[in-house]
Structure 1
């Protein structure tokens, strides 16, 4: 593989960066809000599953006391 000098490397980096489709402010805000909502829903779901499993275990183990 051929080595490139630092100047050529920086030119290639700039060329590739120019090809990137950067999101606008609205897209970033909407995506961030969606991620926060999904993380909250996931946390609530796992909390409820944990509560259900814990209640089931306490009830089941309570029969053996």
Structure 2
């Protein structure tokens, strides 16, 4: 395993961090809003699936019970 000098390691880390493209405030806000919208849509979808399955089960149980 190659060992590196701590000073050299810090320089490499700083070089790599400088390459990172940080998102703008607008991009962060837009993606945050999109996550909330998609989470809400997913919750509604699964709630509807739950209602349909529950109704189907109640129908089958009432038919045979």
The normalised TM-score by structure 2 is: 0.93
Please show how residues 14-53 of structure 1 align to structure 2 within 5 Å: 14-53=14-53
1:5 offset after TM fit, Å? 2.1
In the alignment, structure 1 segments of 5+ residues that lack a partner are none
Q: Which runs of 4+ in 1 moved over 4 A?
A: none
- The alignment partner of 1:63 has SS state of helix
> How much is the aligned-residue C-alpha RMSD, in angstroms?
0.9
In the alignment, structure 2 segments of 5+ residues that lack a partner are none
